[in-house]
Structure 1
Amino acid sequence: MPQAASPHSKGALIEIRGLGKRFGSVVAVDDVSLTIDAGEFVALLGPSGSGKSTVLMSVAGFERPTAGQILIDGVDCTGLPPNKRNIGMVFQHYTLFPHLSVGDNVAFPLKMRGIGKAERRRQAEQALEVVRLSGYAERMPKQLSGGQQQRVALARAIVYNPRVLLMDEPLSALDKNLREEMQIEIKRLHAELGFTVVFVTHDQGEALTMADRIAILKAGRLQQVSPARSLYERPSNLFAAGFIGEMNILPVTWDGEKATFSNNQDIRLPAEALIEPIRPGAAVLAVRPERLSVAAPGEAGTWKATVRDVVYAGAGSLLITHLDDGSEVRLRMPSAGQANVRSGDTIGIRMPPEAVLLYPSGDAA
């Protein structure tokens, strides 16, 4: 694996304190506080308009916050311009200069810093080696594939050994295979060079795959900040539960021990199912489709359901079913062994109590 000859970067601690940003009457970011450890990889995830890119641009210095502070290694950078923050930036669109060679594109930040031509060339070649593009310095951007152009953008962002790398949906323009390849490449660079990464994405799978922690935003406010496994297995509210991955969300009545559906079927839940204390009354039950399984109709402890559709997707299949009360329940399972399940069939659904989460009914999705 190629290594840069220059000393590896070391990540910087980022502290976002009470960050707010307004655009006229529109509140884009509302009192966001987040500490990102030195060398950590954090993904900002949320729907369009959630404020994730505004947070990133505020850290970068391209947006001036309306309120709050941004500290990098204890230094208040809130009012500093981008070139005074020692950060690397990779945008959604590669923003390569079409009239410059690959080597000159990568060396451009060094030129802006007054580095001599020979030293610029040496450092640019090292950065290209790190992103596995040795020998490409003399090519023009139009001669490269999309994935190669994104690697050039990465090389340009790391050529001056920044302590922080900010990435704004950098893989969204790539096709699936290239995107997965670049996910691996970015993770490799993070492990190899040790910089702090803040990565904006709308792709849940990308965030779960790449990040040490994920911060979910909704309408400018943080909803949850957790490692990927915790976020997926125990979302802290119903919005996070519905946003990350697939989730069956069903209204129930809670009596303190069991959840009862409108068709009077019930399921007794362990204490761990409650994300927070819930008073008896209306509540919402959530369970991942892959935690459910098919059983024979009428088998004890199962739910009677009618299969509406079977969606084959290679290794896995999606079963879309309806319970007796009309509630839709989805199941995901390996395709092997499910060939006999057809649309219109009546099946039983096993719903393990330990797979279920319970939320207050007022917890907006």
Structure 2
Amino acid sequence: MAQEALPQTNGASIDIRALEKRFGNVRAVDDVSLTIEAGEFVALLGPSGSGKSTVLMSIAGFERPTAGKIIIDGVDCTTLPPNKRNIGMVFQHYTLFPHLSVADNVAFPLKMRGISRSERRRQAEAALETVRLAGYGDRMPKELSGGQQQRVALARAIVYRPRVLLMDEPLSALDKNLREEMQLEIKRLHSELGLTVVFVTHDQGEALTMADRIAILKAGKLQQVSPARELYERPSNLFAAGFIGEMNMLPVEWDGKRARLVQGEEIVLPDQAAIDPVAPGRAVLAVRPERLSYALAGTAGTWAATVRDVVYAGAGTLLITSLADGTEVRLRIPSAGQEPVSPGDAIGLTCPPEAMLLYPQESA
């Protein structure tokens, strides 16, 4: 008879209120407030030192906040120890016990909870079935690949059916193909089990692929919380625009209605180009490389540019160009069906109005 997988559980909501964490004089987390809905998948994204792991460890109970509250499913857990929060945790390193079998590794949290040996085995096999490792229970960790070991760590984190699963850069030790496979596996587990997942990563692509919403942090402060598409297409400030994906940043003069490139070409921006009001003066026009195209030099409505380099990459080609003042502008275009260009060629750059974003220069 086939072993059944773990049943679906209901995720718990998480309410982070004015969270602050200091280490001496360093404010690692600075007044972060974030509400995560039950069953939601949220990625915490940011550069090293942004505070994302400290937020995660505060939710888990491994860090005691200097100020603020952690509310899980309506219960104030700010001072509760980790073992009282019913939270599963997957770390960057698998931390499997090398002397225990796969099944005993998975069953270890159940043993700590006083579950009988036969029931531990049954639930461990169900967890292994859930992560697609049925039949691996009697193997030792050293007999598994890196991806299989990560699945065992996942099974151990979900075996006691927590309502929240916290993950601290769990895929960073895997190679590219395994990492992409595990991204899809974690998304499947989230969908099938109904857990609330909070996932820390510094990998933008990973966050965009996996999460329902992404929270970007910088120097302990929350910058933006949005679904992936909104974050990519309408970043709320210049930091988010530069951190997520590739972005051209063009210095412009802004008079409140029109932007003028340094070499004098005028750009009429749509009303929705500015996320927030931008005062007249120096500003930054941000454009994704894949939204740009090119035409013959001198074509009306284009920005004069010179091709500096052409990088062929199969389906796509990267054009590195420069404007009259030397500002670099990158285009990512399909390789097929394009007029060939070479370094030194003069061309005209075009951009659809809806792809232009304007930010205050001082936000950089």
TM-score interval (norm. to shorter): over 0.9
Specify the code of the residue in structure 2 equivalent to 1:171.
Answer: L
- Stretches of 4+ aligned residues off by more than 3 angstroms: 2-7
Contact kept, 8 Å, 1:278 with 1:359, in 2: the verdict is yes
Unpaired runs of at least 5, structure 1: none
| Corresponding residue of 2:218 | 218
Cα distance in 2 for partners of 1:27, 1:197 equals: 25
Offset, 1:314: 2.4
The alignment partner of 1:27 has SS state of strand
Counterpart contact for 2:5–2:127, Cα < 8 Å: no
> Match for 1:97: what amino acid?
F
Where 1:134 maps in the other structure, the secondary structure is coil
Q: Which amino acid aligns with 2:281?
A: G
d(CA) in 1 for partners of 2:3 and 2:61? 30
The 8 Å contact of residues 252 and 259 in structure 1, kept in 2 or not, is answered as: yes
Is the Cα–Cα contact under 8 Å of residues 69 and 76 in structure 2 kept in the other structure? yes
The aligned counterpart of 1:228 is 228
What percent of counterpart residues are identical?
A: 80
Q: CA deviation at 1:75?
A: 0.6
Find the counterpart in structure 2 of residue 165 from structure 1.
165
Instruction: Please give the secondary structure, in 2, of the residue aligned with 1:55.
Output: helix
Q: 1:324 to 1:3 in 2, by over 3 A?
A: farther
Q: CA deviation at 1:356?
A: 0.2
TM-score scaled by length of structure 2: 0.97
| Aligned residue in 2 for 1:110 | 110
Cα distance, 1:251 vs. partner?
1.1
Match of 2:184 in 1: 184
* Letter of the structure 1 residue corresponding to residue 179 of structure 2: R
Q: Return the offset for 1:334.
A: 1.4
1:332 maps to what in 2?
A: 332
Q: Secondary structure at the match of 2:56?
A: helix
Residue pair 1:3, 1:130 contacting (<8 A) in 2 also: no
CA displacement at 1:5 relative to structure 2? 4.8
Q: Secondary structure at the match of 1:105?
A: helix
Residues 1:302 and 2:302 aligned together: yes
Q: 1:267, 1:353 within 8 Å by CA — same for their partners in 2?
A: no
Name the CA distance, whole Å, in 2 between partners of 1:115 and 1:343.
69
Residue aligning to 1:205: 205
Please name the residue that 1:254 is paired with.
254
Partner of 2:276: 276
| 1:351 aligned residue | 351
CA gap of 1:302–1:343, structure 2 versus 1, over 3 A, is: same
Secondary structure in structure 2 of the residue aligned to 1:209: helix
Calculate the TM-score normalised by the size of structure 1.
0.97
Over the aligned positions, Cα root-mean-square deviation in angstroms equals 1.2
Residue identity in the other structure for 2:213: R
1:38 matched residue in structure 2: 38
Greater Cα shift, 6-15 or 126-135:
6-15
Q: What is aligned with 1:266?
A: 266
Larger mean Cα displacement after TM superposition, 330-339 or 213-222: 330-339
For the Cα contact (< 8 Å) 1:308–1:344, is it kept in 2? yes
CA 1:194–1:3 in structure 2 vs 1: closer, same or farther (change >3 Å)?
A: farther
Corresponding letter in the other structure for 1:178: L
- Equivalents in 1 of 2:109, 2:23: separation in Å? 30
- The equivalent of 2:100 in structure 1 is 100
**Cα distance in structure 2, aligned partners of 1:3 and 1:234:** 46
The one-letter amino acid paired with 1:70 is I
Moved more, 6-15 or 209-218: 6-15
**Corresponding residue for residue 26 of structure 1:** 26
- Output the CA distance in 2 between the equivalents of 1:180 and 1:295: 37
Aligned residue pairs total 363
Q: Secondary structure at the match of 2:215?
A: strand
Distance 1:3 1:302 in 2: 63
Which stretch shifts more, 328-337 or 180-189? 328-337
Contact 1:127–1:155 (CA under 8 A) maintained in structure 2: yes
